[in-house]
Amino acid sequence: MSQDSVFFTPMQRDIRVTRARLPRREDFLARVEAILAAGQFANNGPQVRELERALELRLSLPHVLACASGTSALMLAAHCAGLRGKKVALPPYTYVATLSALLWLGCEPVFVDVDPATLCLSPDALREAFQRHPDIAGVMPVHVYGFSCDVEAIGSLCREHGVPLIYDAAQAFGSRLDGRSLLDYGDLSVCSFHATKVFHSGEGGCVVSHDDRMHADLSLARAFGHVGDTHLVPGVNAKMGELHAALGLAMLPDTDVEIMRREWLVALYDDALHDVRPRSVSRPEPPAGLRWNHAYYPVLLPDEAALLRVMGAMEAEGIHPRRYFYPSLTDLPYVHPSWRGTCPVAEDAARRVLCLPLHGALEEEIVHMTSGILARNLH
Ligand SMILES: *Cc1c(COP(=O)(O)O)cnc(C)c1O
């Protein structure tokens, strides 16, 4: 019996907001045997190349470059787009890695508020940011929860200003807009394959690019910037290892089933919370036209006090939801006041959003239990 069970006492129960999915065991072990037989664990080996080709085919993407993590992929993307040391616009409502990748490249962040419905970067706020900061050199929006940003409006603003557009699509694996993978939008797009994501390789990530030249630049920068004894650019080591690629390949075939299972659980949550919505709780919604990957189940509570009360009641039952994303990045101690801008929507959402447990192996009873605790503790 898994720990995700109603039959455990609260002390024994340990239900996390997510749980790493396991690979097809036989497939994974066969790949590990192949790695051992070949004796190659690193340096763009056959498993890494196979994973890249498999992702290109499956998601109809032009170029996929596998990396050690989503964060290292964000750094490679921003570096190769020429953004080192420059001003980059990003939302404050995201995981901290979006910001830290930029800070490690010496970029100056310009925080731009989010849309209240999707909690993704607001095109109107971006337009204003371009007016206040004509020297914005690049934009890094985030497809929060696997929802899609307004790709049309953001794309045309970036083209108008002639700046590169890099999507942090870390949470967007499996989401499709107009029949296209969300990872296919923007000049560059970055996904994370961290163990907590819908598709994962333990640790890992990738950069999706659209022309051969950029793909070659990214590839060179990923591996120390040299080919043999010819040193071309200062690079870094952001390569994915063979064991991680093998794990990813053994995880890939069941990803659609994982997404379907989450979709079903999301519908259960929606049903269970029907009576308290929309009066006391609302849910940020995926925009129309998106085939959503159902990566997370965020709910927006009436205020922070209600959130803390609900969270406390869940913790007491051994259920661990997560404030995701909290705090707003504008409130981080190392964020300079001049970077903050005005982001009331993001700051308000960061105080009130709670992500409820959601993963493919979650039991139906836990959804009912969690929803019940939520409903009982609203007032
Ligand atoms: C997970 C995540 C990252 C970081 O990815 P890693 O693979 O853990 O480095 C970056 N941005 C967002 C929005 C994420 O959710």
Q: How far is the CA of 70 from the centre of ligand 1 (A)?
A: 5
Q: Is the CB of 90 under 6 A from ligand 1?
A: no
How many Å apart are CA 181 and CA 170, to the nearest integer? Answer: 13
Tokens standing for 293? 């990957």
Residues 17/319, Cβ–Cβ less than 8 Å: no
- Mapped onto helix, strand or coil, the DSSP state of residue 353 is strand
In which element (H, E) is residue 209 found? strand 205-209
Residues 226/75, Cβ–Cβ less than 8 Å: no
Give the number of other CB atoms < 10 A from CB of residue 134: 9
Residue nearest to atom 2 of ligand 1 (CA): 170
Ligand 1 atom showing the smallest separation from residue 196 Cα: 1
Lowest mean pLDDT, pick from 5-9, 81-85, 177-181: 5-9
Using DSSP bridges, classify how beta strands 188-192 and 166-168 pair: parallel, antiparallel or unpaired: parallel
Ligand 1 atom showing the smallest separation from residue 72 Cα: 9
**How does pLDDT run across 164-190, given as a tens digit for each residue?**
999 999 999 999 999 999 999 999 999
How many Å apart are CA 166 and CA 190, to the nearest integer? Answer: 8
Q: Is the CB of 69 under 6 A from ligand 1?
A: yes
In which element (H, E) is residue 379 found? none
Alpha-carbon torsion angle 140, 153, 119, 298, nearest 10? -100
> Given ligand 1 and candidates 90, 95, 322, 325, which is best to mutate, with the most ligand atoms within 8 Å of its CB?
95
pLDDT value for 205: 98
Q: What is the mean pLDDT of the chain?
A: 96
Residue nearest to atom 10 of ligand 1 (CA): 97
Q: Is the CB of 143 under 6 A from ligand 1?
A: no
pLDDT value for 7: 72
Mean pLDDT of 225-252: 97
Residues 363/1, Cβ–Cβ less than 8 Å: no
- Mapped onto helix, strand or coil, the DSSP state of residue 111 is strand
Confidence at 228, pLDDT banded by 50, 70, 90: very high
Residue 134 has pLDDT above 60, yes or no: yes
Q: What angle do CA 212, 216, 218 make, to 5 degrees?
A: 120
pLDDT value for 2: 56
How many Å apart are CA 46 and CA 41, to the nearest integer? Answer: 10
pLDDT value for 5: 67
**How does pLDDT run across 291-334, given as a tens digit for each residue?**
999 999 999 999 999 999 999 999 999 999 999 999 999 999 99
Q: How far is the CA of 108 from the centre of ligand 1 (A)?
A: 20
Q: Is the CB of 192 under 6 A from ligand 1?
A: yes
pLDDT value for 4: 62
- Mapped onto helix, strand or coil, the DSSP state of residue 188 is strand
Alpha-carbon torsion angle 97, 103, 108, 111, nearest 10? 20
Residues 84/108, Cβ–Cβ less than 8 Å: no
Mean pLDDT of 59-63: 98
- Mapped onto helix, strand or coil, the DSSP state of residue 247 is helix
Residues 210/218, Cβ–Cβ less than 8 Å: no
Ligand 1 atom showing the smallest separation from residue 70 Cα: 7
Residues 195/20, Cβ–Cβ less than 8 Å: yes
Q: Is the CB of 168 under 6 A from ligand 1?
A: yes
**How does pLDDT run across 260-289, given as a tens digit for each residue?**
999 999 999 999 998 887 678 899 989 989
Ligand 1 atom showing the smallest separation from residue 143 Cα: 13
How many Å apart are CA 83 and CA 81, to the nearest integer? Answer: 6
Q: How far is the CA of 280 from the centre of ligand 1 (A)?
A: 30
Mean pLDDT of 1-6: 60
Confidence at 3, pLDDT banded by 50, 70, 90: low
Lowest mean pLDDT, pick from 15-19, 163-167, 357-361: 15-19
The DSSP symbol for 275 reads T
Residues of the chain above pLDDT 70, percent: 98
**How does pLDDT run across 21-60, given as a tens digit for each residue?**
999 999 999 999 999 999 999 999 999 999 999 999 999 9
Confidence at 13, pLDDT banded by 50, 70, 90: confident
Ligand 1 atom showing the smallest separation from residue 94 Cα: 13
